[in-house]
Amino acid sequence: MTLIEKKTGYFKSFDGTKIYYETHGSGPPLILNYGIGCLMNHWHPQVKHFSKKFTVITYDYRAHHLSEVPEDLNRLDLDSMAQDIKALCHELQIEKAHFCGHSFGVQLLVRTYDMYPELFEDMVFINGFIQNPLAGMFGNDMALSFFHLFKSGFGLLPETLTQLWKLAIQNPLAVHLSALAGGFNIKLTSLKDIEIYAKGVSSLDLNAFIRIFESMINYDGHSVLERIKVPTLVIAGASDSVTPVKHQQSLHHQIKDSSFLLVPYGSHCSQLDMPDLVNLKMDQFYMLPRKRSLTGESSNS
């Protein structure tokens, strides 16, 4: 059995916010970006698989888990998080990396590509979107209305809602409600993974979470897609109720020469539902001949 080396560390981003990261294995860098409110645990099948031939890098977004909440709360936005990725690459002396994003992580990568295209070798998008995902979620606008109502309530009763937010996980139904809200397929995804997700979400600073969430719903990355010049793989879940297949189809159609995979029975977390299929498709994607990169040099890794 081969022992995969794991390293952990912190770095200070552009505004002094401390960001936590982990590296696994050795080889070309592969940076994994999870969904809003999620955890590194959402990548455990990919970390285990790809760390045998890549340096797999996971990290916590600002205001998530082991990373700090910035002193300036106005820095809880996509642009600041994109600058965190730039700072992460600088910390690890990475000139160019493979990037993979899930859900909100896709939107973040699109914004980061817009700001720092020179960092990208290629991209894999899993169950992603690039504009407000609440509009039309579950076939109506109730999710968007609920967010605005929740935000207004927090402005009036921040301590009360924060306490309810943290106590919610103690409800026996919390895991199953989290499965519904997070778009998991409970027939395919381990309940342990869902439980970890629920506890992770409840541990977040609620004010910070609301600010990042608002930045997410206000961003529209459509104008960036036609300018993406690196190989891109788009993965969708056939049973994703949070960001339905139409979101991923839109990405695929607008990104020139992108590849597409529809995961049968896949939920909003296809990389957990069917990790072997997702990993295999990613393996095949990384083995494809590469076109010329933005610098004019071969982008084979």
Question: Domain-by-domain residue ranges, the chain?
Answer: 6-287
Return d(Cα 225, Cα 202) in angstroms, integer. Answer: 33
- Cβ count within 10 A of residue 70: 20
Return d(Cα 274, Cα 284) in angstroms, integer. Answer: 16
Instruction: Check residue 297 and give its pLDDT.
Output: 36
The pLDDT tens digits for 194-247 are 566 666 777 788 889 889 999 999 999 999 999 999 999 999 999 888 888 999
* Arithmetic mean of pLDDT over the chain: 84
Task: Indicate the pLDDT class of residue 152, thresholds 50, 70 and 90.
Answer: low
Instruction: Check residue 204 and give its pLDDT.
Output: 83
The pLDDT tens digits for 97-144 are 999 999 999 999 999 999 999 999 999 999 999 988 766 555 545 555
DSSP 138: G
Do residues 101 and 211 touch, judged by C-beta distance below 8 A?
no
Instruction: Check residue 193 and give its pLDDT.
Output: 59
Instruction: Check residue 292 and give its pLDDT.
Output: 39
Task: Indicate the pLDDT class of residue 282, thresholds 50, 70 and 90.
Answer: very high
Percent of the chain at pLDDT exceeding 90: 61
Mean pLDDT of the region 44-52: 97
Q: How far apart are the first and last CA of the chain?
A: 26
The superfamily (CATH) of domain 6-287 is: Alpha/Beta hydrolase fold, catalytic domain (3.40.50.1820)
For residue 102, what are the β-bridge partners? 126
pTM reported for the whole predicted model: 0.84
DSSP letters spanning 106-173: HHHHHHHHHH-GGGEEEEEEES--SS-SSTTGGGSSHHHHHHHHHHHHHHH-HHHHHHHHHHGGGSTT
Mean pLDDT of the region 251-262: 97
What are the C-alpha distances in Å from 277 to residues 192, 199, 241, 254, 262?
A: 21, 28, 20, 24, 10
Task: Indicate the pLDDT class of residue 88, thresholds 50, 70 and 90.
Answer: very high
